[in-house]
Chain A
Amino acid sequence: MSAGDDIIRLTAADLASRLRAGEISSVEATRAHLDRIRDVDGDVHAFLHVNDQALEVAADIDRRRVAGEELGALAGVPLAIKDVLVTTDMPSTSGSRILEGYMSPYDATVVSRSRAAGLVPLGKTNMDEFAMGSSTEHSAYGPTRNPWDLDRIPGGSGGGSAAAVAAFEAPLALGSDTGGSIRQPAHVTGTVGMKPTYGGVSRYGAIALASSLDQVGPVTRTVLDAGLLHDVIGGHDPHDATSLEDVWPSFADAARDGATGDVLRGLRVGVIAELPDSGFQPGVSLRFRAALDAMAAQGAEIVEVSAPHFEYGVAAYYLILPAEASSNLAKFDSVRFGMRVIPHAGATVEEVMAATREAGFGDEVKRRVILGTYALSAGYYDAYYGSAQKVRTLIQSDFDAAFSQVDVLATPSAPTTAFRLGEKLDDPLQMYLNDVTTIPANLAGVPGISIPAGLAPEDGLPVGIQFLAPARQDARLYRVGAAVEALLVEEWGGPLLDRMPLQGGVA
């Protein structure tokens, strides 16, 4: 094993402390990850673009550190960035042909904060086109593959970010979660994914899918790493009118507290009565129950709670999302940026727009824009979009009632382990149902974290457990997530990713 192999297997927290101690330089760390990308990304395809300036950025951090400059906790650590986030020095496509080669004149706030904290942008990660999908198969640039089994999906829409982290191509990644696109990829790749409270992390410069649901957040290998990255990107941003003005506690401190403290004793953990085992893969249910048992053995109290409207969440989501998406994607009109297709000489601007959007959008995007146009068209608005917003109220009431009885809710992060590439492509409804446990959090704006819960015995693939907390209680999720992670990693005798089999030379 070379020095580079050691470096890429460090957690971001460990890497940061070795950078601080001068044992490793940021150039070495960045080069080790670039080498790894070169070696395995032909198989995994987590990246759409690799940053050719990464080593220069790293060298600058090293110089500043040697000069004695006070640097951020993660300074010098490489970071992968989901392509939904705009960047000035790399193309931003949101996985779509219509934005091929687009160079943003400004950075997304989470990107500028990451740069200011000394993180080294490694590249842009693959995703379902405009974040529409649960498998990354809807990327216009080809699918990403799951490093656990290259024939399987890495989750979506942030499959690129999750696969990059799982395949040790990056210690940290940024994702976005509209209906589960951080947590479901974490579930199927054995990584940690956190969707913060709505408004807790700026969405300025995140190419909008559904603005009332979208949330940017960290994708990592440990809960502590997620907390460290959340501390960098979170907090109020005047550029985002929906950004909360709260002063947040340190999420890294919450994670450290959870890993070492006795937070599970007396913790009330709610299990939702209406999320039945039917529809869940047996191995997913098994690992979920085993994680609950392990928590109970440490003194947590497992309580059944009722959330009768969660079953309407997917239906409401698939009205709200296309409606907001059809509106957000109207800006791709062939005028200010992106592709322009002129169908014939003398074509009107309307014909140019229609031909451009036909050529530039993939099937899933067309499907959802058409569905959203339908849901918002005259005569249907109240029945569909208005009704969906009422379901949102009911789901919020369910959360309020549940959180009056328990501290956190727990669910499997998704109903199945990673399915095979192509398996659900022709059945959009089956694809949509994969988000059944993650969607309620987006509808209600509450935070959710997915951490590895083990491997399903029937296929040996990762399963995640999701914890949900009331809005603004993100720190509680880091505390509980880190406690459960510590418990399970001890039980396994090491991190879950150490058990990734050799697949196509990836592990």
Chain B
Amino acid sequence: MSEITPDLVRHLGVLARIQLSDEEVARLTGQLDVIVDNIAKVSEVATADVLATSHPIPLQNVFRDDVPADVLTVEEVLQNAPEAADDRFRVTAILGEEQ
């Protein structure tokens, strides 16, 4: 089974927001293929009659009353921001020039 192509890896890089060099695409194409072949193994036993378990210990939603409490200050929230202005995170342009 070989379904990992360089084009697919490039596409996954776009979806994952990781710019990949040609060299990385080539390397990942080879390595992911080996891993994907191996993990296809799970379909051997994961038949329709088996229920999926998302979480190791059964849990319920945890709710609390929505009351104001101690929270981080604006300074603490922004202390690691690459760029901040006027008590907000500053981001780069969201729309490209063509828009």
Interface positions of A (Cβ within 8 A of B): 102-103, 105-106, 197-199, 212-213, 238, 241-242, 244, 309, 312, 314-316, 318-319, 326, 330, 333-340, 342-343, 346-355, 357-358, 361, 363, 366-367, 369-371, 373-374, 377, 383-384, 386-394, 396, 428-429, 432, 442-446, 471
Contacts and interface: CB of A to CB of B under 8 A. Distances in A.
8 contacts: A335-B89, A337-B80, A358-B21, A363-B27, A370-B20, A390-B47, A390-B50, A393-B52
Given A241-B59, A370-B13, 10 more contacts: A312-B44, A338-B80, A357-B16, A357-B18, A366-B24, A370-B18, A374-B8, A390-B42, A396-B53, A442-B56
Q: Considering residues B14, B17, B35, which has the most beta carbons from chain A within 10 angstroms of its beta carbon? A: B17
A337 B81 CA distance: 4
Contacts of B77: 105
A212 B38 contact: no
Contacts of B32: 367, 370-371, 374
Given A338-B80, A349-B91, A366-B24, A394 B45 contact: yes
Nearest to A308: B45
A390 B92 contact: no
Contacts of A212: 54-56
Contacts of B96: 348
B51 A318 contact: no
A393 B53 contact: yes
Given A335-B91, A367-B32, A374-B12, A353 B53 contact: no
Interface in B33-61: 34-36, 38-39, 41-47, 50-57, 59, 61
A244 B56 CA distance: 12
B42 to A, nearest CB: 5
Contacts of B31: 367, 428
Interface in B62-99: 62, 64, 72, 76-77, 79-83, 89, 91-97
Given A349-B91, A369-B18, A383 B43 contact: yes
A366 B12 contact: no
Nearest to B9: A370
Contacts of A371: 32, 35-36
Interface of B: 4, 8-9, 12-21, 24, 27-28, 31-32, 34-36, 38-39, 41-47, 50-57, 59, 61-62, 64, 72, 76-77, 79-83, 89, 91-97
A145 B46 CA distance: 40
A319 B80 CA distance: 32
B97 A389 contact: no
Contacts of B89: 335-336
B18 A354 contact: yes
A366 B21 CA distance: 12
Contact of B28 (A330, A335, A366): A366
Given A318-B35, A319-B42, A386-B52, A199 B16 contact: no
A336 B57 contact: no
What 6 pairs between A and B have smallest CB-CB spacing? A445-B56, A387-B46, A340-B82, A389-B52, A337-B80, A105-B76
B81 A197 contact: no
B57 A346 contact: no
Contacts of A384: 39, 42
A105 B9 CA distance: 37
Given A105-B72, A393-B50, A429-B34, A315 B91 contact: no
Question: Interface on chain A toward B: helix, strand, loop, or mixed SS?
Answer: helix
A377 B93 contact: no
A333 B88 CA distance: 16
Given A335-B89, A388-B42, A346 B81 contact: no
Contacts of A444: 56
B90 to A, nearest CB: 9
Contacts of B45: 309, 312, 390-391, 394
B12 A370 contact: yes
B82 to A, nearest CB: 4
B93 A348 contact: yes
A314 to B, nearest CB: 8
Contacts of A330: 17
The residue among B39, B41, B47, B94 with the most chain A CB atoms within 10 A of its own CB is B39
B72 A352 contact: no
A312 B54 contact: no
A315 B41 contact: yes
A471 B19 contact: no
Contact of B92 (A347, A374, A393): A347
Contacts of A238: 64
A390 B53 CA distance: 6
Contacts of A442: 56
A401 B48 CA distance: 21
Given A102-B80, A319-B39, A348-B92, A353 B17 contact: yes
B41 A354 contact: no
Contact of A373 (B15, B59, B83, B94): B15
